[in-house]
Amino acid sequence: MKIEAHHIQGHNARMMERHREDFGFLQHQLGRRGLDAAELAGQVAGLQVAIPSWALGAGGTRFGRFSIGGEPGSLEQKIEDVGLLHALTGSAGAISLHIPWDIPADAAAVKAQASALGLRFDAVNSNTFQDQRGQALSYKFGSLCHADSAVREQAVEHNLEVIRIGQALGSKSITVWLADGASFPGQHNMRRALQRTLDSLQHIYSQLPGDWKMYIEYKPCEPSFYSMVIPDWGTSCLLASECGDRAYSLVDLGHHLPNTNIEQAVATLMMRGKLGGFHFNDSKYGDDDLTVGCIKPYQLFLIFNELVYGMNNNTAGNPPPAWMIDASHNVKDPLEDLIQSLEAVRLAYAQALLVDAAALEEAQENNDPARAQEILQDAFRTDLRPLLGEARLLSGAALNPLGLYRSLGVRNRLIGERGRATVATGL
Ligand SMILES: [Mn+2]
């Protein structure tokens, strides 16, 4: 299944009159505040978010998994699905591969297929949180932190293999997320586990190609329920700093204890130039991996507000962060869920672009919290959906991606092509 240009054009033509009216009103509204809506639309159109290869099928919980039908059964079909998302939204211009779930048999062919769809390969992800068939040593008790040096070496070698695969595809970064930790007090010497992890990460970093970056993810609990070796952004930043200039922290929105001030973590990491990547999702209780923006859109806006501030005041030379959606789809059609996620990310970004930075600084310097709140909420409460539509028009995408996806019956067509029983690898 491929979205053809005439599908998009026909759809947009039917919606154009209404869009022009809505966008014209917004242009007028923003113009009064001295903002150029067309320019903002161009900025928003530039935001591309990577889709991970494991998010295209139904996820599951530890209790069960309910297939969605028409799931991509191969890497080529996954790329096809990301191509659909990109054609509809104009905002999913990259894929993030998970190794070993998605090892390309023919890297050149896979690269060519992706580039024909306007896609590039973003960070590659290693996996030492599971044992693979035929694997010599087990990660049951950890990988980069393991007590046995042979297990640590095997885990380091896996990461190096992931880098080699990424190089063949044109990736420029690796993301390391570790399940390493202890489920019971006394199980680990916490200091030794951290030191071993640092030694292993430094080994991987020493082999990193010169134009590559390494992102270190963190998580406070799960699957280890007493202590995770890299539980928080501070520990991640410490490890990245010890590794070197091209090692960074990666913030996953679901990887925090309840009520953690994530925007503050973003501010601090960017102050040090150490924010490398971002994984989007939303949560109510834990690492729920729900659609980003479905529960806490204001938090997402506040995070983007810090990101925009950080990029506009980039004294520490923070590189542009790598954006990725990291969600798991249990009850929704994954493609519909991803369309909603892409929309939520761009919306929060656009809202943050609206913040009057000079007025906010003045309110802050004058100790005026009421005024500061007005400024932030004025941006957050402006309906910017027509701006997102305009951004999609600029990149030849659909004015209403989810509407077009449904009216074309994409899922049913995929079921027709691939069958009901295909199962995508992933979480
Ligand atoms: Mn993640």
**Which of 159, 161, 171 has its CA nearest to residue 205?**
159
CA–centroid distance, 12 to ligand 1, in Å, is: 34
Confidence of residue 329 (pLDDT cuts 50, 70, 90): confident
Element (H, E) at 380: helix 369-380
- 424 in a structural domain: no
Residue linked to tokens 């990577």 = 50
0.75 surpassed by pTM: yes
User: Whole-angstrom Cα distance, residue 122 to residue 116?
Assistant: 16
Rounded CA-CA distance 104/97 in Å is 10
Alpha helices in 35-138 (DSSP H): 37-45, 75-89, 107-116
Report percent pLDDT > 70 for the chain.
Answer: 99
* Cα-to-centroid distance, 77 and ligand 1 (Å): 22
User: What's the CA-to-centroid distance between 45 and ligand 1, angstroms?
Assistant: 24
CA–centroid distance, residue 328 to ligand 1 (Å)? 11
Q: Tens of pLDDT along 266-325?
A: 999 999 999 999 999 999 999 999 999 999 999 999 999 999 999 999 999 999 999 999
Find the CATH number of the domain harbouring 315: 3.20.20.150
Which of 265, 183, 289, 286 lies closest to 228, judged by CA? 183
Instruction: Give 256 Cα–ligand 1 centroid separation in angstroms.
Output: 11
What helix, strand, coil percent values describe the chain, rounded to 5?
50, 10, 40
55 Cα: distance to centroid of ligand 1 (angstroms):
11
**Domain span including residue 81:** 5-29+37-418
Find the 254 Cα to ligand 1 centroid distance in Å: 8
Q: What is the mean pLDDT of residues 377-385?
A: 98
Across the range 65-77, mean pLDDT stands at 93
Ligand 1 centroid–CA 332 distance in Å is: 20
The answer as to whether 425 is a domain residue is no
Strands 181-182 and 50-52, sheet pairing: unpaired
Is the residue at 423 inside a domain?
no
Q: How many whole angstroms separate alpha carbon 133 and alpha carbon 135?
A: 6
CA of residue 378 to ligand 1 center, whole Å: 31
Is the previous residue joined to 297 through a cis bond, with omega within 30 degrees of 0? no
Does residue 342 lie within any of the structural domains? Answer: yes
Q: What pLDDT, on the 0 to 100 scale, is given for residue 211?
A: 98
Assigned domain for 353 exists: yes
The pLDDT of 346-352, averaged and rounded, is: 98
Distance 304 CA to ligand 1 centre (A): 18
pLDDT at 399 over 80: yes
Q: What is the mean pLDDT of residues 76-80?
A: 96
* Burial of residue 186 (number of CB atoms within 10 Å: 0-12, 13-18, 19+): exposed
Task: Specify if 260 maps to a domain.
Answer: yes
Task: Provide the token pair at 44.
Answer: 């928003």
Task: Tell me, in angstroms, the distance from the centre of ligand 1 to residue 291's CA.
Answer: 13
Q: How far does residue 175's CA lie from ligand 1's centre (Å)?
A: 9
Q: How far is the CA of 217 from the centre of ligand 1 (A)?
A: 7
Distance CA 243, CA 203 (A): 9
Q: Residue 106 C-alpha to ligand 1 middle, in angstroms?
A: 27
| pLDDT score for 346 | 98
**Residue of 340, 266, 265 lying closest to 297 (CA atoms):** 340
Give the per-residue pLDDT at 61.
Answer: 87
Spacing, Cα 364 to ligand 1 middle (Å): 33
Give the distance (Å) from ligand 1 centre to CA of residue 416: 32
180/199 Cα distance (integer angstroms): 14
Let me know: does 228 contact 221? Beta carbons within 8 Å: yes
Cα of 213 from ligand 1 centre, angstroms: 16
* pLDDT, position 412: 97
Distance 367 CA to ligand 1 centre (A): 37
Q: How high does pLDDT run on average in the chain?
A: 97
**Per-residue pLDDT tens digits for 80-98:** 999 999 999 999 999 999 9
The pLDDT, as a whole number, for residue 427 is: 58
The answer to whether 29 and 40 have CB atoms below 8 angstroms apart is no
Strand extents, DSSP E, 137-212: 173-176, 181-182
Q: What is the domain count for the chain?
A: 1
Alpha carbon of 286 to ligand 1 centroid (Å):
13
Query: Own/partner pairs for 224-228, CB < 8 Å, 24+ apart?
Result: 224/179, 224/180, 224/181, 224/182, 224/183, 225/183, 226/181, 226/182, 226/183, 226/184, 226/185, 226/187, 227/181, 227/182, 227/188, 227/190, 228/178, 228/179, 228/180, 228/181
